[in-house]
Chains A and B, each alone.
Chain A
Amino acid sequence: MTTPDEAVANILTDLRDASHRAIVVDSPPGAGKSTLVVRAARQLAEDDDQRMIVAQTNEQVDDLIDRLAGADPGMRIGRLSSTAYVTSERVDQHANVRVATKPGDLADRTIVIGTAAKWATITEGSWSHAIIDEAYQMRSDMLLRIANRFDRGLFVGDPGQLDPFATVETARWAGLTWDPTMSAVSVMLANNDNIPIHRLPVSWRLPATAAPVVSQAFYPFTGFESGTGFGDRRMAFTTRGLGGSIDAVLEEAAATGWGWYELPARHTLRTDREAVHALAAIAARLIERGATAHSESGSHPVTTDRVAIGTAHRDQADAVRTALRGTAAEPVTVDTANRLQGREYDVTLVLHPLSGRRDASAFHLEAGRLCVLASRHRHACILVGRAGIPELLDAHPSAEPVHLGVPVKFPDGWEANQSVLSHLTRHRVRATAL
């Protein structure tokens, strides 16, 4: 296996090779993707020819600018924005960043960064090199709208995350190499041969307790390791628990990095009231008990901004937010898997996508959804759900139609779910009455 340094060095060497029209870098969760983007951007910026960087959301653009400008205060960075964009503090604090709505106003910049949606409004000009960040989140149609702006591209992203989706029926394009609902990386690879694909081999975010589980379930053929060893990350509580199942699952998670809080089997509505209240109660108790996280970068208290709650649906997130009102955990981030992509916390609480369901639809089986939810944490992840999910999975083997010309997708969501569940049974805490 290559070391992380070798992997980055190989990528940067390929980047100098003009014969590659594109380079793909697959990065598992927290494997130093942003660091790589910063290094690649600095290398590309050496010859003063202007380069473009494409990210997917304004949040991501601001994060990147913050890191780039911090890494190299001498680099002239331009931020391409819509008129509605309000310059964030992170961007404003750097003197070497200028914000503009037209590329013409950024002609003296060596790097121009913007969201894909903003780049899609630019109809003229061409850049020799582009870096496309979070390229697996970008849909093929967006790439079509910006691809004429650059000659060569570096596509960076996490293949295990959620695939882009369409709200309408997409079967009519299945099997076309230019299927507009594929990810940008898939469509580019389908239409071009001999594109080098690199892989970052180490996750710095996931602790030693999580990396093997996530790697085995969601990256079965492209495994990765944790950058830290067992015992490097610890979480301890400053107060003792009261001895109920809520405290038990918190202590299990603190000790082993995982917790599976299992409610009695039952078919429920999507916004399962008991599961929602369990999530809120666990989050509140976690904050009340004052956890401290110890890691290679020092010790710090686990405050509300270091905790997140993830769900599959928006109405579930709304229900959890409502349940958190008035508790110690009210400021905790509650969001869907789609919106938690690319984010990092010390502890995450997850409402299992299949909890309480009568069926296992493709949406709920999607491997990326569970992967995002189970790979946001640096210390511990607690899943909450109803008993009986393995039986549900057994009753619903994936039955998606197979289309000609569509490559089989790995990992299979059904199998990934089973793999995670079988791991979780070792960390099961059965709920007692709240």
Chain B
Amino acid sequence: MSVLSALAKAEAVRAGRAQPTAAVRHLHLGERPLVAVPLRLAGEAAAPLAIMIGTARGDQNVLIVPQPRDRVLRLRFIEQLADIVLPYLASFLAESEELTSKAGETYTRCLDAPQIWTPNEGGVNFLKLLGRSVRFHRTDGDNPVPVSIPLLGRWLTWFGDRAEHPGSAVLPAMTSALSAHWATGQSALEDGNLAALLGWIDPPPGRTGAEAAAIAEDPLQSPPAGPATDPGFDNEELAPLIAAYSAAVDENARAVAAERLERSRRGQLEPTWQLMWRALDLLRALPPGASVENRWTDDRGAFSYFAAEVAEGTPQARRDPAVRAVRRLLERERALEALQAQCAFDDPLRMLEHRVTGAAFRGTVVHSEPDRVDRSGARPKLRPHIHIRTTDPFLAVVGEELTCVERPKQSGVVVEIDGDRMVLELSGGMGRKLVAEPGSVPTDGEALGFARFSPSPFNGLLNLPAREDTPWTHGGPPPEWVPPTDDEGEELQ
């Protein structure tokens, strides 16, 4: 925990409500998000119990598995889920833009992409596991399943993969999103409880955050946001109802039992459902950060790319082969670095963290030489000098390059340090002439920030061997994929 986040937590306790740690919203909020609150059977990795899912507060579809140990019923549930999710995904494929890559190839990118919200990281993991459990189900041969089941499995796997990509907003977890924007007076573990977290951020009138969070701890007043259910509910409500369903003697009795099960699970889901929409409203009230749009564009690109793969029938790999694993790792590391820098550049509150640790500073320009020209090289170059004074704990090093926060295209090289003043030689973002464009060079008295990091992602080409050139140190080339044939299926039996 950094000094500032510790301070924010202390402030939250004193004020009795959460303190904002971000001035802008750092993730994209879809216009038509799909909110999903899944519940799982205790003790099983991916046995769904129920899900409440929909794209609007009033559009709550509840799907249940009356007897979650029955695999046929589970598959029926996943099929129903696919009937909701797949049309939602398809609705984003209708409108797309035509683009040309640097290599000259044209490709299409959807104008918008789907966004699935779950209450917490547990929900994200559950959807991912649910997808993984069905994505290789056979749609032919013995015991075939409908095509939509493995298709949903592949999509959910993609969502889970993409959710791990730093800066992605296709499958966000609500508690993580809220914790990134507010600091509460409770521990990070307690922030994993959506009701308690919202209690701190937006306490009901007349109550403090701590009081609201205490109420949220009572599973009877606010049932857990899933995917794990309250053990009391499991024992006293769920188990007898499932037993009644299993013991039902005829269709009529079974329908009654199923109806009771649905009502009971609806009761567990409904409070979280309301919290989810309240939380979305809170997030929507924040203005988006400047770079949010760009990151969402990456998500749109990834969505369109995978949609095209699905359409072409490209198989989804069971696991990452060596080269793909390396590519994914490097891409994610780059994305994370860019994300952290972009958030700081978008948001003075986030930048504060870096100013405290000495990775950035804010100061005042005390002297400016906007028309200084460097004539030492073959061609004269516009290189204005600014003298800037700061009281931040920033230990500058002569020769290091800093990026200007207000003008991210402009960088300044430290040429001289004198106590709390330093001289920066500016380059970039001033036009092509030997006289700077008006307003592109800071003037006397201007307050400016500079950082050791830059928000523009490093997009250099990754020189990785081709799949068939995987070296001996990494197990050599992976085997080629061959479509499974019916013979193989028979051999397995």
Contacts and interface: CB of A to CB of B under 8 A. Distances in A.
Contact of A166 (B3, B333, B463, B470): B333
Interface string B388-420: 000001010000000000000000000000000
Residue among A168, A173, A314 with the highest chain B CB neighbour number at 10 A:
A168
Given A121-B463, A168-B166, A315-B357, A187 B473 contact: yes
Contact of A180 (B325, B393, B395, B470): B325
Contacts of B393: 318, 322
Interface string B181-208: 0000000000000000000000000000
A145 B469 contact: no
A318 B464 contact: no
Contacts, number: 95
A177 B470 CA distance: 13
Interface string B451-472: 0000000000001110001111
A213 interface: no
A270 B5 CA distance: 12
Contacts of B471: 143-144, 147-148
Interface in A1-56: 21-22
Interface stretch (B19-27, B44-52, B316-324, B481-489): B316-324
Contacts of A269: 3, 6
B6 A168 contact: no
B465 A173 contact: no
Residue from A172, A178, A179, A318 whose CB has the most chain B CB atoms within 10 Å: A178
B370 interface: no
Interface residues of A, number: 39
Given A173-B325, A187-B473, A144 B465 contact: yes
Contacts of A179: 325
A194 interface: no
B322 A144 contact: yes
Contact of A191 (B330, B337, B463, B472): B472
B325 A178 contact: yes
Given A144-B464, A168-B333, A315-B358, A191 B473 contact: yes
B374 interface: no
Given A168-B166, A192-B472, A318 B395 contact: yes
Given A123-B463, A148-B465, A315-B358, A168 B473 contact: no
B439 interface: no
A167 interface: yes
A207 to B, nearest CB: 34
A143 B329 contact: no
Contact of B330 (A141, A148, A173, A322): A141
A184 B326 CA distance: 13
Nearest to A120: B463
A144 B323 contact: yes
Nearest to A318: B358
A169 interface: yes
Nearest to A271: B3
A168 B465 contact: no
Interface in A307-329: 314-315, 318, 321-322
A95 B476 CA distance: 41
Contacts of B465: 144-145, 148
A93 interface: no
B433 interface: no
A425 B346 CA distance: 49
A181 interface: yes
A211 B332 CA distance: 40
Given A143-B473, A148-B471, A318-B357, A168 B323 contact: no
A176 interface: yes
A144 B326 contact: yes
Contacts of A170: 329
A188 interface: yes
B325 A167 contact: no
What are the 3 A-B residue pairs with the smallest beta carbon separation, nearest first?
A: A147-B471, A178-B322, A141-B326
Given A22-B473, A192-B473, A314-B357, 6 more contacts: A120-B463, A144-B470, A173-B320, A177-B475, A180-B325, A271-B3
6 contacts: A21-B472, A147-B472, A147-B473, A168-B333, A191-B474, A318-B395
